[in-house]
Chains A and B, each alone.
Chain A
């Protein structure tokens, strides 16, 4: 599983207003941002980092549709085919009476499915161990981790981050693997995104 050790230059920012231009400059300079860890959702940061939109909501819709079909299909099968009951001569296929349960199952499937998908995509589960770049990333600091390659001069990157307004800069090593996140490959390069 583990594919060796990766080196990261880590910068800690204490203000999102400084973080945004820093993200932009780092990307402009051609460095690869591994990830930015923030204590709360910073709106627009995903965009600034060039991450694509999530399609989690689409998945939610698919689960919902699955719930609708399951509920309606099952109730129809039970009451029309498997065990039809004559209730005062009313039709076996009692669609209006099934709407509440259909609705509930639609919601249930969608919610449960989305949460499980969310946990899967983010690799969240009890007992997972992940690399935490900074303990205050969940408190008050915005942590930017820049991935180093063989060509990267980490001293230069550290200097760059300091100039960009980072309060603390250091170099860290982490074992590569799924716990580092799998989505960094979906990040577009600044050049590609802006068309130059």
Chain B
């Protein structure tokens, strides 16, 4: 086998340590996996699904109404003021974009790191990424006010000079970053879905389902050559998405970091934003998957081990974020810039200041509370994880709020300090509306698409399935020498 082909054999090695927890529980075979994972989407939706779905649609309608009012009367219906030109709107944008990052981390970075556990959660996490990016994209677009002019952000030959967009501006970098991120995530997600959609197609009982899934599956047959190309495609897309996901939040942080506003003008922003994004994204994955695994009966595929692994990422990234907060404070003091230090000391850290409460809420949610996850017992506790995932998402929302609002509400001159900013009903409605959009999409996804990558689970079954692990252990005990030669040292074929 040449080097090239070794490189392309990207999934797990043949042998997996018996010390590792199984990734698929129960006595499964390939057909059982298909039944378990495709079965739920072939059934009629449950009452719970309908309740959730229509609640989401209701929220979405509220969002649409809020946007309608905003478009008709202008951005003035929001409580933005002088000096807070960026309020909830950009906070929500950064928050949603951050949420999306976990999906790419799971699907791309963990693929490159050969983390077998990603197979249980990657499909749902990637879907979450796509929906989160769609939600995020709404904010800058509607913030434009005259949204029908939104195409002005694209560099196209025009009759105004031609006047081009400013390629030196971080806001334009954002346009490219977000749209590329969305496109690449969508391609990655959908190319991974093709084989599973083909499975659904081949099981379909009605003509309509056969047609719909047939169209969606692009005529996938499962040919070896196609798989070979598919593997190569996934690997390269993973390789592309990895720097892409880092670049996206880096560029989002540039929106702030390249300005000279005290509180924004710091070089620590890119890594700090990326870590925060992954942190909040994993929390959202936990929120969604804890519900999904319960409702769709997928406990054998999204195991406690998966949840624990994600909690480890949360405690790691949460601690990185904590370090970043402290570094930022230290540098603000050490840098001896009075405005910078004032922004940190008085606008944020001073709990008696107008927004001091939000800073300490953020500190508590993002830095203190995830430390619970140093305990293995708590990491493996579903209730604690679910509760923590909500706390982390609140904390990360406040991080963006703190960065944005507390940096701008007091300008250099006290005479231009703004009045206390709190959102108007329409800002709130817009935010809730994106929740509606997100969950509407997610409910539809969970109903019509396999929420777990079926083919990928099958590919790891014989190395990481519980029943196969037992068999391996028995083989190993019976004759370690033979076991080593046949299983561990086993190259696929020659």
Contacts and interface: CB of A to CB of B under 8 A. Distances in A.
A66 interface: no
Contacts of A78: 155, 164, 167
Contact of B167 (A20, A35, A97): A97
B457 to A, nearest CB: 8
Interface in B452-483: 455-456, 458-459
Contact of B9 (A43, A100, A130): A43
B83 interface: no
B-side binding surface: helix, strand, loop or mixed?
Answer: helix
Interface residues on A, range: 35 or more
B222 interface: yes
B343 interface: no
B2 interface: yes
B221 A132 contact: yes
B164 A103 contact: no
Interface string A113-130: 011001101111111111
B142 to A, nearest CB: 23
Interface stretch (B67-75, B230-238, B361-369, B370-378): B230-238
Nearest to A60: B236
A114 B202 contact: no
Interface in A25-83: 35-49, 51, 53-54, 56-57, 60, 64, 74-75, 78-79, 82-83
Contact of A40 (B5, B218, B220, B459): B459
A143 B184 CA distance: 32
A75 B167 CA distance: 7
A14 to B, nearest CB: 8
B144 interface: no
Given A51-B228, A97-B167, A138-B199, A129 B219 contact: yes
Nearest to A183: B225
B109 to A, nearest CB: 15
Contacts of B167: 75, 78-79, 94, 97-98, 101
A107 interface: yes
Contact of B194 (A94, A124, A132): A124
A139 interface: yes
Interface string B164-180: 10111010110011011
Which interface residue of B176, B179, B241 has the most chain A CB atoms within 10 A? B176
A189 interface: no
A111 interface: yes
Contacts of B492: 20, 43-45, 47-48
Given A20-B493, A83-B162, A128-B218, A35 B224 contact: yes
A59 to B, nearest CB: 9
B222 A138 contact: yes
Contacts of B237: 111, 114-115
A118 B164 contact: no
Contact of B222 (A48, A105, A111, A137): A137
Contacts of B163: 83
A57 B234 CA distance: 10
B456 A35 contact: no
Interface stretch (B29-37, B312-320, B390-398): B29-37
A115 B455 contact: no
B191 interface: yes
Given A41-B231, A103-B243, A104-B247, 17 more contacts: A35-B223, A44-B1, A47-B492, A51-B228, A54-B229, A78-B164, A83-B161, A83-B163, A94-B167, A97-B168, A114-B233, A119-B218, A124-B226, A137-B222, A138-B220, A143-B222, A183-B225
